[in-house]
Structure 1
């Protein structure tokens, strides 16, 4: 799926590598006319100290500053992630989510899942 989207120019995958060539961080960006969305990130846990994740964000800022009006770093609803992303400047913009369930069991299952998820 990502490969097909990359062919359209709507999705870009970027990596940060060590001198040896080993990938230590990955970023998936989704583009539209005005906004760059940093959709997915991943860093090898043992390499968190390298700053590779910061480098990927900084490179996206530099690459798109003249072509897109907004950069949405996404994921600021998680306090530790919001703190990290706040370090790049910008403005935190709240977003809202609506939920609709087709059955009572779906609603109960989802609520139970979200409560359990907080413990992990």
Structure 2
């Protein structure tokens, strides 16, 4: 944790990881961690200077405390402003932007429903006739469904099943979130979503569905997440949009785009070695493809 104080008062802090990769220390978001980045206390009203200057100066002090990583990358919360981003850019970091979708708090259900795209409303209506949404108290039920759905697509759980179980167990124990599922008419669990909340936001953090299940099973879960967020007077954060298809689907729920800064630094020697390794992998793939083509021709 990088920390900046004025006297005994903490006015800025920035958590980070530090792990070893070969000859270098690297720093990335831990598994299932949404965002990191600097957290800075607003300066007193009588401080005299602009708030953005205060935020820029504190961020530069935080950056100065970071170890000399071979590679550093963090996604910042949407609350991180242009001033913090400017401090990273001036410090030699690459600053880029990702996006998430958010639904504001304080809207009544009728208004929220009216803001849904017409085909999204139809999907929710049809799904509600087939599926039943219930809360899931068994973490293993969620993780097992998540893993089995990935396995059916010949994919692995990139977060790690053990870490996912530990996290969701703590979420439920601390009453900091919920797991909800869409159950088919035969009682089978077809899709599930893990939600986590704080004092301001409800985060749509994990979701999974069987490959054979209708996409409406997930749409129904999102509608339930919207209801939970409204009941708790929280904003709903869809926690990032990684593809055009996901953005198209989630945009049907009436949210607005919000930017999230990404801060990255890579040492030249680390970048060189990574580039060489990437080239080596491509050469191996090319050699295997050539061998396969020669074998096909010989046959």
2:228 aligned with 1:51, yes or no? no
- Are 2:171 and 2:196, in contact at CA under 8 Å, matched by a contact in 1? no
Q: Identify which of 167, 171, 182 aligns with 1:16.
A: 182
Does the residue aligned with 2:170 lie in a helix, a strand or coil?
Answer: helix
| Segment of structure 1 superposing worse, 30-39 or 10-19 | 10-19
Which structure ranks higher in relative contact order (CA pairs < 8 Å, sequence separation ≥ 6)? 2
| Rounded Cα–Cα distance in structure 1 between residues aligned with 2:233 and 2:190 | 27
Does 2:205 correspond to 1:76?
A: no
1:61 equivalent in alignment to 2:226: yes
> Retained in 1: the 8 A contact 2:181–2:189?
yes
Q: Alignment RMSD, CA only?
A: 2.4
TM-score (structure 1 length as normaliser): 0.79
Which residue of 187, 195, 201 maps to 1:35? Answer: 201
TM-score between both structures, scaled by the size of structure 2: 0.34
Runs of 5+ consecutive residues of structure 1 not aligned to the other structure: none
- SS of 2:207's partner is strand
Structure 1 residues 51-87: Cα deviation after superposition (integer angstroms, max 9, x where no partner): 1100000011112213233101123131100110000
Which runs of at least 4 in structure 1 moved beyond 6 Å after TM superposition?
none
Tell me, yes or no, if structure 1 residue 86 matches structure 2 residue 86.
no
Q: Which moved more, 1:55-64 or 1:95-104?
A: 95-104
The Cα shift of 1:32 comes to 0.4
Alpha-carbon distance between aligned partners in 2 of 1:14 and 1:39, rounded to the nearest angstrom: 12
Q: Which has the larger radius of gyration?
A: 2
